[in-house]
Chain A
Amino acid sequence: GQNIDQPTEMTATEGAIVQINCTYQTSGFNGLFWYQQHAGEAPTFLSYNVLDGLEEKGRFSSFLSRSKGYSYLLLKELQMKDSASYLCAVIDSNYQLIWGAGTKLIIKP
């Protein structure tokens, strides 16, 4: 079967750095997305990786290793507004989007 694994919940301190991991076992791979979802709001696009390596976008970076079936989202200089759920999703060989259950990130002052 196809599976996306993410930690259910993480806690970090304002101003710090946090890394949210995502591992996947899918039938093929055609890219990986990270979305952010604040409570009661729509998921919004953060990043897309299809090649190995690190993609940096401001305070957020996303890393991919296809050989390891692994990605992480790195958030720097954490702010209270970063408290949200972070969803990992993988495009499989049939171009279906397989979603993880999301990681709820709690930022403490």
Chain B
Amino acid sequence: ETGVTQTPRHLVMGMTNKKSLKCEQHLGHNAMYWYKQSAKKPLELMFVYNFKEQTENNSVPSRFSPECPNSSHLFLHLHTLQPEDSALYLCASSQDRGDPAEEQFFGPGTRLTVL
């Protein structure tokens, strides 16, 4: 238990569906991250929020839309996804974005399958 929870743990969706992934952290952290993890590939950073403000968007397609209503919650809204978007989506948090030496605390991920 890392203090970061993600729901759902598994999601299967069609290309025309709209769904949302939820992440919640109970650590009092100010920075939250979305990552994509594909088999045998490095973690890909998608979005970063620091104090509820989006600070990074690493050229992620617009079919992925993040939302951070407060420092404890992070959402990833999905629409018209492609089969190649199937992957494990990990949420992480850290105290804040300023110190690169801070460890990140990860949630267990949502295993997404796009049919």
Point out residues on A near B: beta carbons under 8 Å.
Answer: 4, 8, 30-31, 33, 35, 40-45, 48, 50, 87, 89, 91, 95-102
Contacts and interface: CB of A to CB of B under 8 A. Distances in A.
Interface stretch (B14-22, B37-45, B77-85): B37-45
A81 to B, nearest CB: 16
Contact of A99 (B42, B100, B108, B109): B42
Interface of B: 2, 4, 40-43, 45, 90, 100-101, 103-109
A42 B43 contact: no
Contacts of A8: 40
Contacts of B108: 40-42
16 contacts: A4-B42, A31-B100, A31-B101, A33-B103, A40-B108, A42-B2, A42-B107, A42-B109, A44-B106, A45-B104, A45-B105, A50-B101, A96-B45, A97-B100, A101-B41, A102-B42
Chain B CB count within 10 A is highest, among A31, A43, A89, A98, for A43
A37 to B, nearest CB: 8
A58 B18 CA distance: 46
A80 B1 CA distance: 20
A42 B101 contact: no
A48 B101 contact: yes
A40 B2 CA distance: 14
Contacts of B103: 33, 45, 48
Nearest to B35: A99
Contacts of B101: 30-31, 48, 50, 91
A92 to B, nearest CB: 9
Contacts of B43: 87, 89, 99
Nearest to A100: B42
**Interface hub of B41, B103, B107 (most chain A Cβ within 10 A):** B103
A44 B101 CA distance: 15
Contacts of A30: 100-101
A42 B4 contact: yes
Given A42-B108, A42-B109, A50-B101, A97 B45 contact: yes
